Structure 1
């Protein structure tokens, strides 16, 4: 059986043309015994990701990980406008999930959330992957041999 995302030997880097957005969003389960509060919030993330997988809304790639206190989602978007359009549009599940969170959980302290948005100008990023499958920014853009962009971090940042 072939691995879906095989290890690529050697050193690779990522390449994206133009500006892009890195969006981090996480949830913290502050009171684990209140499953009825945090479980609906936890279930909302995969619903949003499925909607993003079905249409080209500007999401370039993502990685969902579970931490000791809850999920962490790293997303790469083409633009802030596309991210905001998805988040605020009633046709997509995020807006209803956000309204549900505010109605059922709000700021009781049972569940925490956070997000950070970074706009990255073209060439203002650096990435290196050694003997790794295609991950992170390389999943959102191109996965290219390191020599294409430079052998050192400073060379890759100035390319």
Structure 2
């Protein structure tokens, strides 16, 4: 099989429609979660769609998030001085992956391994970037996640 015939993670998950369903349902669940709700109490109505676009770009889809919102530097800015903890991170990860299960998203081991790999990596980076004194690298590249490998790891 040629590399060109291998779908991206974005294609495998079902594209932006699937990611929008995931983030919409996930953030409904976040609002009802005692631990996470206070962190997201000021979330605007567009937040789920922005996160879907970010995930879509990371997983090999269109560059919508970078074009419309400023790419990875913008995402980092959203976490500055939020003082996130490992407890919050674990709850966020568990709820997101549980939502993927609830919605019947692909559960083959290869896809889930790649998804979990990115979610673990990205959520740990969010915790790091939420601590006092962090600054934004305005040239930070958008992470690109593939099947079992990082194509452009963030060097922050």
Q: TM-score, normalised by structure 2?
A: 0.37
Relative to its length, the structure with more strand (as a share) is: 1
Relative to its length, the structure with more helix (as a share) is: 2
Choose 1 or 2 for highest CA Rg.
1
Relative contact order (alpha carbons < 8 A, sep ≥ 6): 1 or 2 greater? 1
